[in-house]
Chain A
Amino acid sequence: GNSVTQMEGPVTLSEEAFLTINCTYTATGYPSLFWYVQYPGEGLQLLLKATKADDKGSNKGFEATYRKETTSFHLEKGSVQVSDSAVYFCAFWNNAGNMLTFGGGTRLMVKP
């Protein structure tokens, strides 16, 4: 069935370290892909998206590339900051259910 698998956390990094959060999906066709971020006590915010193969979404220094060959959408950032500490969710638009299908979330903790 349709699903999203993302690396379990927590991921703990020092400030200015390189970040990768892996995400792979199982879906029919080529759905739009998203990364959402949830800061403590808040709702989810759209971080970036990609709507077709080989597209690169980017925002606030974060990037992710839509790889249809590997059905992946890994999130990367070259230099994380303490303010990036949050939970990150990978998701895709599931046409069959008119819904976003989410991964379980990855908690990132950045230490000064």
Chain B
Amino acid sequence: NAGVTQTPKFQVLKTGQSMTLQCAQDMNHEYMSWYRQDPGMGLRLIHYSVGAGITDQGEVPNGYNVSRSTTEDFPLRLLSAAPSQTSVYFCASSKSGTRNGYTFGSGTRLTVV
């Protein structure tokens, strides 16, 4: 039972580069989300999806794109990396968020230099 799988675990980017953080879940969950975790700020929602083909913005969407072509996958794209995007990124999924909360992946630590 893999749960939520994120790749890569670590990444260093130069300012202006683009990249995609991968997220996959094998639990047939409808809800998927991307959060970023910064010191002293808890977790903030970047984008989320309530099903395949449906995405929406969270609290801090600028500089990121998402798509949800399948139930299993929810990649996060950084269009032009900036030092302010240095953070730990978590993907999460839920069957139905209201009562079950989210299952989190192990995170991607991104450094933009």
Chain B residues whose CB sits within 8 angstroms of the CB of A99 once the complex forms: 33, 45, 48, 58-59, 97
Stretch at the interface among B62-70, B78-86, B103-111: B103-111
Q: How far is the CA of A51 from the CA of B97 in the complex (A)?
A: 12
Do residues B31 and A98 form an inter-chain contact, with CB atoms below 8 A?
yes
Residues of the A chain whose Cβ atoms lie less than 8 Å from the Cβ of B43: 44, 89, 100, 102
Q: Are A43 and B105 in contact (CB-based, < 8 A)?
A: yes
Q: How many residues of chain B are within 8 Å of chain A by beta carbon? A: 27
Residues of the A chain whose Cβ atoms lie less than 8 Å from the Cβ of B92 = 44, 100
A14 at interface by CB-CB < 8 Å: no
Q: How many angstroms from the CA of A42 to the CA of B43 in the assembled complex? A: 14
B99 partner, pick from A4, A32, A45, beta carbons under 8 A: A32
A-to-B contact residues, CB < 8 Å: 4, 32, 34, 36, 42-46, 49, 51, 89, 91, 93, 95, 97-100, 102-105
Q: Are A32 and B42 in contact (CB under 8 A)?
A: no
B107 surroundings in chain A (CB, below 8 A): 42-43
- In chain B, positions 71-113 with a C-beta closer than 8 Å to chain A are 90, 92, 97-107
B48 touches A98 (CB 8 A): yes
Question: CB of B41 within 8 A of chain A?
Answer: yes
Interchain residue pairs with CB less than 8 A apart (27) = A36-B101, A43-B107, A44-B90, A44-B92, A44-B102, A44-B104, A45-B104, A46-B102, A49-B101, A89-B42, A89-B43, A91-B101, A93-B98, A95-B98, A97-B45, A97-B58, A98-B50, A98-B97, A99-B33, A99-B45, A99-B58, A100-B43, A100-B45, A100-B92, A103-B42, A104-B40, A104-B41
